[in-house]
Amino acid sequence: MEDLILQAMRARENAYAPYSGFFVGAALECEDGTVYTGCNIENASYTPTNCAERTAFFKAVSEGQRKFRRIAIVGGKQGEMTAPAPCGVCLQVMAEFCEPENFEILLAKGPKEYKRKKLGELLPCHFSLTDK
Ligand code: THU
């Protein structure tokens, strides 16, 4: 857990957030142990902004990964760590690939200070074309 959080903290250093000033990093652990990191990437036009969690997921899926164990997330304004929960859009992306009762979401303020949630706790229902 600690190492995954440290990787999320390192990814946060690359966050591009000149508009919100809120810097987020994520580290996604795949079933095979590979880790993909991500940061938020903002845009002058605002809506194209991509969250750290989705950056990590899209990197992983684009490399052929489909099975995931957990994701660590860190975020806050410059010099702060507030352990933000993922937004609804990111949770919907997670729900596309992960089992709600198994996939873990670590909301971290630091390597030793984190809350451990299941995807299903943060997103009890999600949109699906079939009734899962
Ligand atoms: N953000 C994330 O990267 N992940 C989330 O789950 C919530 C929000 C980013 C988007 C934006 O760049 C900044 O945080 C402020 O909303």
Q: Which two tokens stand for residue 57?
A: 């997921």
pTM of the model: 0.96
Q: What is the pLDDT along the chain (132 residues), one digit of tens a residue?
A: 899 999 999 999 999 999 999 999 999 999 999 999 999 999 999 999 999 999 999 999 999 999 999 999 999 999 999 999 999 999 999 999 999 999 999 999 999 999 999 999 999 999 998 865
| 59: exposed, middle or buried (Cβ count in 10 Å: 0-12, 13-18, 19+) | middle
Q: Which residue has the tokens 């950056």?
A: 55
- Residues framing ligand 1 (Cβ under 6 A): 17, 20, 22, 24, 40, 42, 49, 51-53, 84, 86-87, 90
